[in-house]
Amino acid sequence: MIGIILGTRPEIIKMSPVIRECERKGLDYFILHTGQHYSYEMDRNFFEELELPEPHFNLDVGSASHADQTCRIMTGIEKILIDEQPDTVLVQGDTNTVLAGALAASKLNIRVGHVEAGLRSFDRTMPEEINRVVTDHISDYLFAPTETARQYLLNEGIEERKICLTGNTIVDAILQNQKISQTRSKVLDDIGVKPKEFFLATSHRQENVDSYEKLRNIINAFENIHNELSFPVIFPMHPRTQKMIQQFKMSLEGTIVMPPVGFLDFLQLESKARLVLTDSGGVQEESCILGVPCVTLRENTERPETIRVGANMLAGTDRDKILSSSREMISRTATWSNPYGDGRAGKTIITLCNGLPPRNANH
Active site residues: 204
Side chain identity at residue 70, one-letter code: T
Cα–Cα nearest to 91, from 50, 48, 139, 42? 139
CB 230 within 8 A of CB 254: no
The angle formed by the CA atoms of residues 284, 290 and 295, to the nearest 5 degrees, is: 35
Compute the Cα dihedral for 161, 130, 244, 60 and give only its sign.
positive
CA distance readout (Å), 97 to 68, 72, 114: 12, 10, 12
CB 173 within 8 A of CB 347: no
| Cα–Cα distance measured from residue 358 to residue 363, given in angstroms and rounded to the nearest whole number | 10
Strand 163-165 with 141-144, pairing:
parallel
Q: What is the CA radius of gyration of the chain?
A: 20
CB 113 within 8 A of CB 353: yes
Q: How many CB atoms lie within 10 A of CB 24?
A: 11
